[in-house]
Amino acid sequence: MFSGLGIGDIGEVFVVILISMAAHEAMHAYVAHALGDTTARDQGRLTLNPFKHVDLVTTVLLPVVMIIAHLPPIFAARPVPFDPRQVRFGEYGAALVGVAGPLTNLLLAVIGAVIIRFVGLGSILTNPVMLFIQVNISFFVFNMIPLPPLDGSRLVYAFAPEPVQEFMHRLESAGFLLTIGILLVLSPFIMPIISNIDSTIFRLLL
């Protein structure tokens, strides 16, 4: 997605990322609030303002460094806080909060595909909407990886046996940098799978 891009193109990519990220994080906050937890609202995170969700290191510096190093960039927003003890339905409610963000990105990709089908290829909207679709598909697939603190791990917490849950909790306690390290070490195996899933969803939508 980033090969051969000029400065202006990369700027466009970051604008699309900010919009998609804001929708993703706001939906986490909205679903948590709907299920009874006001933590995100109380901290001002129940908003589509992307700058409320930006983390200087993981949203800006980390992806820039990875792009410069010709690595697939990893983008992460400041996590939306929520208290699983306050959310209705226990771990199942927490799983709903977790998947709300990625499913929002998938829905945005579907909306983008509908726009492309409506305006047709060759429109002035084609390139930015295609980029919007690609970014949102990437957000959906990446965040559904079942490694904490990524959103897919919430499904594991909800349905996995207790020993697996305990292992996931220890992994999450180690922090996001450990997850990034695991992903980088396993990237020769994981990235082709992610790329294939991204491409398959893209083809299905268009």
Please indicate whether residue 25 is annotated as part of the active site: yes
Q: CB burial class (10 A; 0-12, 13-18, 19+) of residue 118?
A: exposed
Q: Which of 25, 91, 166, 172 is catalytic?
A: 25
C-alpha to C-alpha distance for 96 and 31, rounded to whole angstroms: 7
CA angle 145, 205, 74 (to 5 degrees): 35
- The kind and range of the H/E element at 4 are none
> Are the C-beta atoms of residues 132 and 16 closer than 8 Å to each other?
yes
Q: Residues with catalytic annotation? A: 25
